[in-house]
Structure 1
């Protein structure tokens, strides 16, 4: 838990490493975790040809997945297992093959078991293409302890 950890930044980085080690979905889409802080994450993803829809733009599901991944790293950065309880996305502009997208997740509220996070998806160095709001719910357990438990022999 962040409040009792002597270095919240170090904890956020440890949590991100633990999550990344078992986050096959995010890795499969060639995402990169660029930055993590308590309540914050920045994740990038290149738009590849197999992500294009019938309009030859990036399918909205991939934009949502990128935003959701940034949201996950931000809301779990306090080392408390946290899941999405609701998410909403507004698509503002298309992304195209070859674009590198960045999703920046920022914690807006954290009280009790619930949190609110805003994620802005941009083409690297440019235009905002989507706005995502995620609501989180803390469940039992810790991220790092969950990794240690998963590594124990059965």
Structure 2
């Protein structure tokens, strides 16, 4: 068994599915101007899973001198997108809810860990936990994804 960042057990992954998830993450990230502009980095990809980090810069704080909630949402949403597209089927967000639990500040490094909870037909549910460098939970995000036509990568049949 592998373990996620928070120590939970994760079932072993088919290496072909793992390689595909990594390739999908790389391709999506290369086209994702917004995530790159915000300084995000994909730390890990697996089928139904993504871990994405983002340093909080001085230009990301609001009038309360805390990280703007919309930018933390963007981090969670990006991790959600990478996780739900990891199987190479074009998938978009259909709905989500977010709970802001504590502030983040300039100089913090936030890590969003997205995990598939359910996948049935063309719909999936994903939980994303955003933590700071002290392993304190900053945001809880739950997203519902809907598969649409097409693939992220054009995969050649063998």
**SS of the residue aligned with 1:139?**
strand
Equivalent position of 1:59 in the other structure: 68
What CA distance in whole angstroms lies between the structure 2 residues aligned with 1:42 and 1:124? 14
User: How big is each residue's C-alpha offset from its partner over 1:16-66, in whole Å with a ceiling of 9 and x where there is no partner?
Assistant: 111111111100001000000000000000001111011100010001000
Equivalent position of 2:122 in the other structure: 113
Q: 2:107 aligns with which of 98, 101, 104?
A: 98
TM-aligned CA distance change 1:6 to 1:128, over 3 Å: closer
What CA distance in whole angstroms lies between the structure 2 residues aligned with 1:88 and 1:63? 13
As a proportion of its length, which structure holds more strand? 2
Note if 1:30 corresponds to 2:39.
yes
**CA RMSD in angstroms, aligned pairs only:** 1.4
Note if 1:39 corresponds to 2:59.
no
Equivalent position of 1:14 in the other structure: 23
Equivalent position of 1:141 in the other structure: 150
Q: Where does 1:59-78 land on structure 2 (aligned, <5 Å)?
A: 59-78=68-87
What CA distance in whole angstroms lies between the structure 1 residues aligned with 2:134 and 2:108? 10
Offset of residue 125 of structure 1 = 3.8
Count, aligned residues: 142
TM-score norm. by structure 1 comes to: 0.89
What CA distance in whole angstroms lies between the structure 2 residues aligned with 1:85 and 1:72? 11
Q: 2:140 aligns with which of 119, 131, 134?
A: 131
Q: Which runs of 4+ in 1 moved over 6 A?
A: none
Unaligned runs of 5+ in 1: 147-154
Offset of residue 6 of structure 1 = 7.0
Which deviates further from its counterpart, 118-127 or 73-82? 118-127
As a proportion of its length, which structure holds more helix? 1
